[in-house]
Amino acid sequence: MTGRTTPHHVRPDGPEDPDPYADPYADPARRAARWRPAAKVAAVVLPVCLIGWLGWQAVANSSRDVTSNASAPRTPSYAEGDRVDGSDADGGSPAASAAGPGAAAAPSAAPSPSAGASAAAAPGGGPKPLAGRTVLLDPGHNTGNAEHTAEIGRKVDIGNSRKECDTTGTSTNAGYPEAEFTLDVVHRARQILQDRGATVVLTQDGDRPWGPCIDERARLGNDAKADAAVSVHADGAPSSGTGFHVIMPARVVAGPADTSAIVEPSHRLGVLLRDAFKAGTGEPYSSYIGQQGLDTRSDLGGLNLSKVPKVFIECGNMRNSGDAQRMADPQWRQSAAQALADALTSYLTG
């Protein structure tokens, strides 16, 4: 056939049929209707997926936090090795247990010795962390005591007994007196504490011929209403012994003595001083008395009669050649004074 063929979608007798090859969704209304079911499904599925993803993230983060916390080091609630020995190596001093129940305070938390010191002001300006605080420093003995044996030999009441007013103290084998050592360390510590804003009271400043007696030393701290007090000493033990120790008050309630209120704060001060002194000077704990550098005694008038938190420190054994060499070194004495001031700062600002 050579003639024109009629398209199959054109009816000879009527209008055109729909084009089978045309886009059935070219019409906007039909196109919108086509996607409406898919949009409904997406409206339901997408939020569910989003919620699931967020939940997975929360679980993953929680797992990481738990793992991190489990591996983090824990800070102990008390000082490492914090034990109090109630015995005296020479057998001459009553043990803390002899003072009765409650003689030894329970271990207490020991902040890092440098915690308070880090806030200390540099000389000449800056914050004064110890402003308004009063500290009593008691340099043990007196270089003039040897010339006043009658005066220092009289007995005074320390509550649970009577003891000599004071003693001459010890010295190194080379003749360096304990009284000179203690006064030098106290002078150095006083300067640091004053730079930090503290009012510092001394029991003696090399300005009296002898003494004071042990009961007066305690009274001076009480009258000053000191926030803390430290008595600085050096020991005269057998030469084989080495190291330092801090002496804390036992509970004594007898006559004019009542240490009930100061046992716990004195223990806290003692632990801080023990830690600061070892870190600052390198001096080992005593090898011949106490445990871990701590001792508790009930026979020291300066502690028994104190109404303010107070400790003694025996900075080393002057009869030991190594300790004596260190204590004769001005630079080491400066380190000792710094440790003393840092411990007091930590105690008073903690």
Contacts of 159 (CB under 8 A, 6+ apart): 252, 254, 255, 256, 257, 258, 301, 304, 305
Alpha-carbon distance of 313 to 247, in angstroms, equals 6
Active site residue 147: no
Alpha-carbon distance of 330 to 336, in angstroms, equals 10
CA angle 234, 239, 245 (to 5 degrees): 40
Beta bridge partners of residue 307, listed in sequence order: none
Residue from 178, 216, 283, 314 carrying the catalytic annotation: 314
Q: Which residues are catalytic?
A: 314
